[in-house]
A and B are shown apart, each in its own frame.
Chain A
C-alpha cells in the first residue's frame, strides 16, 4: 500500500472542512428555508443576505461560558457532545463522493455507517443521563427507543439494496448504478426492481428522518414538552457540538440515501458527469428534510412507534421478500 500520511491528512482536513462548513451552513439554510416557507426573509443582517450569520453564531457560542450545572455527572456531561459529533464526522470517511473521492473504500462501509449511528445514539443517551434533568432523561429514552425501532425497517430496506448490488461496499453499490437514471436503484428497470424499490426508498427516507431526530419525528427535543430535550442543560459550545452533530447526521443520511438509491455521483442523462451531481442530490435531499420539517407538526411518540411497527416494518419485510424473488426469478 502506498498511502502516505499526507494522503490521510488531506482527507482528514477535507472531511473536517466539508463537515464543518455543512454543519454551520445547514443551520443557515434551515433558517432561510423556514423563513421562506413562512414567507419571511430570515437572517439578513450579518453579511450579504446574512451569509456570515453562522460565523457570528459560532463566535457567540464559543465566547460563552461552558457551564456545568450542579448535580450533573461532570465527565460524561462534557464527553457526550464530543461523542455525538465524532461518529458523524467519522462516517464521512467511507462515503464515496465520486469514483475517486473517498477517504477509505471499505468493504463493509454500509455496516460501518450503522455501527457509527449506534455510537451517536449512545452519546445522546449519555448526554441525557448525565444532565441529571428529567426532561433530558425522558428525551434521551425517547430518542433511543425511536432510533432502535426505526433501525429495523431501515436495515431491511438497506438489505434490499445490498441484495441488488451484491455488496456492502458503498463504492460498489454506487458503481453498480452508473449509466443513466434507469439504473439507479430507485427507478431500476432491470429485473423490474422499480416495482418495489420506490417503496424501499420512501421507507428508507422516513427512517432517516426518524433516525436523525428531525421533525416531524423530533420527539427527542420536543420544545413544547421537554424544553430542549437532551440539550436542556447544555450551553455554549456543548450545545453547538450537539447541534453540529445533528446537522452532520442529516448530511450523512442524505449521502447514504444518495448512494443507496439515487445512483451516487451518476448523472441522470449523461450530462456533465462529476462530483457536483452527488452534491446536487444530497442538497436536494437536505432541502426536502427542511421542507418536511417546516410543513408537518410533531407527531406523538406512540403514533411514531405505531407507524414504525404497523406500517414500515411489515412493508419493508414484504419488500425484501419481493426483491429477493425478483432477483431469483429473472
Chain B
C-alpha cells in the first residue's frame, strides 16, 4: 500500500493525515473502476445498477478530491439518489423475477456471431485507446484559472450571471420533461 501512494520526492507515511487521505483516494478510484466493471459484466440487471451506483459514489469522491464538493454532492444526490434508484425501480416493476444466468447461453450465442466480431471490437477499442492516448500526450494542455473558489456562493453567483443562459436552458429542459411526463401519464390513464 505504502509504495503506491508515491509522490515523487516524499512518500508520506501511511499513518499520517496525508497517508490516510491517499488511501481514501485510492479507495475512491478502486470504487470507480470496480463499479464500472460490475456494471458492464454483471449478468443480473440490478447488480449492474448497483455497480453503477458504486461507480457514481466513487466518482463523487474523485470530484471531492478535485476540490469541487458541490459537484460531488450533486453526483451523490442526483446520480445515486435519483438516477440509480429510478433505474432499479424500473427494473423491479418491469420484471419481477429474472431468469438465473444460464451457463450454456454464451456458447450458443457464439455460433450466431460473426467471425469478425471479436477482432473488430478489439481493434475499435485499441484505436479508441490509442487515439485518446495520443490526444492526451500530444495536446498542449492549458491551465485555466479556477473560476471562484468552488464554494457555493461563487457557484450561485456565476450560475445567475455568467452562465445564466445555460441555467435557463436547463430549466427549460426540465420543464419540458415534466410536461412530457404529465402528458404521458394522462394518456396512459385514458
Contacts and interface: CB of A to CB of B under 8 A. Distances in A.
A106 interface: yes
B85 A122 contact: yes
A148 B138 CA distance: 46
A115 B76 contact: yes
- Counting chain B CB atoms within 10 Å of each CB, the highest count among A117, A130, A140, A168 belongs to A168
For the residues of A in contact with B, the DSSP-based class is: helix
B73 to A, nearest CB: 4
Nearest to A132: B97
Given A5-B15, A122-B80, A148 B85 contact: yes
A112 interface: yes
A116 B152 contact: no
Contacts of B70: 108, 111
Given A114-B77, A122-B81, A76 B93 contact: no
Interface string B39-80: 000001011001001000100100000000110011011001
A15 to B, nearest CB: 16
A122 B46 contact: no
A311 B82 CA distance: 23
A168 to B, nearest CB: 5
A201 interface: no
Interface in A96-149: 106-108, 111-112, 114-119, 121-122, 125-126, 129-130, 132, 134, 137, 140-141, 144-145, 148
B92 interface: yes
Nearest to A7: B17
A328 to B, nearest CB: 15
B151 interface: yes
Given A76-B46, A116-B76, A107 B88 contact: no
Contacts of A5: 15-17, 19-20
Given A73-B44, A114-B77, A129-B88, A3 B93 contact: no
Interface in A1-51: 1, 3-5, 8
A114 B78 CA distance: 10
Interface in A75-108: 75-76, 106-108
A118 B69 contact: no
- Counting chain B CB atoms within 10 Å of each CB, the highest count among A115, A119, A121 belongs to A115
A111 B15 contact: no
Contacts of B188: none
B24 to A, nearest CB: 11
A166 to B, nearest CB: 9
Given A4-B17, A126-B46, A119 B152 contact: no
Contacts of B82: 118, 148
Contacts of B53: 122
Given A76-B47, A112-B73, A119 B89 contact: no
B28 interface: no
A244 B44 CA distance: 29
A148 B77 CA distance: 11
A73 B47 contact: yes
B89 A141 contact: yes
A107 B88 CA distance: 31
B89 A125 contact: yes
B69 A107 contact: yes
Contacts of A108: 69-70, 73, 152
A69 to B, nearest CB: 15
Contact of B50 (A1, A117, A126, A132): A126
A112 B69 CA distance: 9
A108 B155 CA distance: 12
A73 B85 contact: no
Interface of B: 15-17, 19-20, 44, 46-47, 50, 53, 57, 60, 69-70, 73-74, 76-77, 80-82, 84-85, 88-89, 92-93, 96-97, 151-152
10 contacts: A107-B151, A108-B69, A114-B77, A116-B76, A121-B85, A122-B80, A125-B92, A126-B46, A132-B97, A145-B89
Interface of A: 1, 3-5, 8, 73, 75-76, 106-108, 111-112, 114-119, 121-122, 125-126, 129-130, 132, 134, 137, 140-141, 144-145, 148, 168
Given A111-B77, A125-B89, 6 more contacts: A3-B17, A106-B69, A108-B69, A117-B81, A119-B81, A141-B93
6 pairs of A and B residues whose beta carbons are closest in the complex: A118-B81, A115-B76, A111-B73, A115-B77, A115-B73, A108-B69
